[in-house]
Amino acid sequence: MDKGTSINPSEAVTSPPPKLSTWQKFFYGTGCVFELTKWLIVLIVLGTLVHFYIGTISIVDGQSMEPNFHSGEYLIVNRWTYLFGTPSRGDPVVLRFPGDPEHVKYIKRIIGLPGEKVSIQSGSVYINDQKLPESYLAPGTQTYPNMTKQLGSEDYFLMGDNRLNSSDSRIWGVCPKRDLIGKPWYALWPLEVFGKVNHTAAN
């Protein structure tokens, strides 16, 4: 090439990229698939850990907790509280129905704690013969039928806030601690109830 001769870039000859063999294409492709699969597995594992140890979503089904919870509400349930802490009286709680713990979930309220005597007399609830104030109930709510139940060391007595329309410990008996899933923490839907759950809400 003579000195001073310039080359137009558009005329420059470039080498075509090397062709990949079938095996090379396969390994490059499977590398991407491997990365995607790896992250998918990580997300599944994290989601499973969150579901079983931190929180899960539950849908209210039925009228047993009105006026505080309504059918169709989506709730985030705090599992952590009961895995590493002790349930408290007055807590609303999502539980596995003792009669069918694998398939049926309920939402009720904790009334009686392990070792206590729960009595219902003349429309009111008594714990160890002391009348229980229940500010979370609608005014004028009466509780029936009359009954007395002595709780064991792992037993909880649960009732719905809508006492006249609730299937609870008055009917199917006590709930063992292992069947308590967690405490509702946040309402997601519908939008008018969106926000942190007020555990003692009442009229």
pLDDT averaged per 10 residues, the chain (length 203) = 53 59 57 67 62 74 95 92 90 90 87 98 97 95 97 97 96 94 92 85 49
Q: Which fold does the domain 54-196 belong to in CATH?
A: Umud Fragment, subunit A (2.10.109)
pLDDT for position 203: 43
CB environment 154-173: b (16+ within 10 A), e (fewer): ebbbbbbbbbeebebbbeee
Q: One of 58, 108, 166, 169 is an active-site residue; which one?
A: 108
The predicted model scores a pTM of 0.74
Name the catalytic one among 64, 119, 166, 169: 64
Check if the beta carbon of residue 151 is closer than 8 Å to that of residue 116: yes
- Cα distance between residue 203 and residue 137, in whole Å: 7
Q: Which two tokens stand for residue 159?
A: 């009732």
64 has catalytic annotation = yes
Residue 68 CA to residue 64 CA, distance in Å, equals 10
If you count DSSP H runs as helices and E runs as strands, how many of each does the chain have, helices first? 3, 12
> Which residues are CB-contacts of 142 (< 8 A; sequence separation ≥ 6)?
123, 124, 163, 164
| Per-residue pLDDT, 125 | 98
Question: What is the structure's pLDDT at 33?
Answer: 66
Structural domain boundaries of the chain?
54-196
pLDDT of residue 83: 84
For the question of residue 153 being annotated catalytic, the response is no
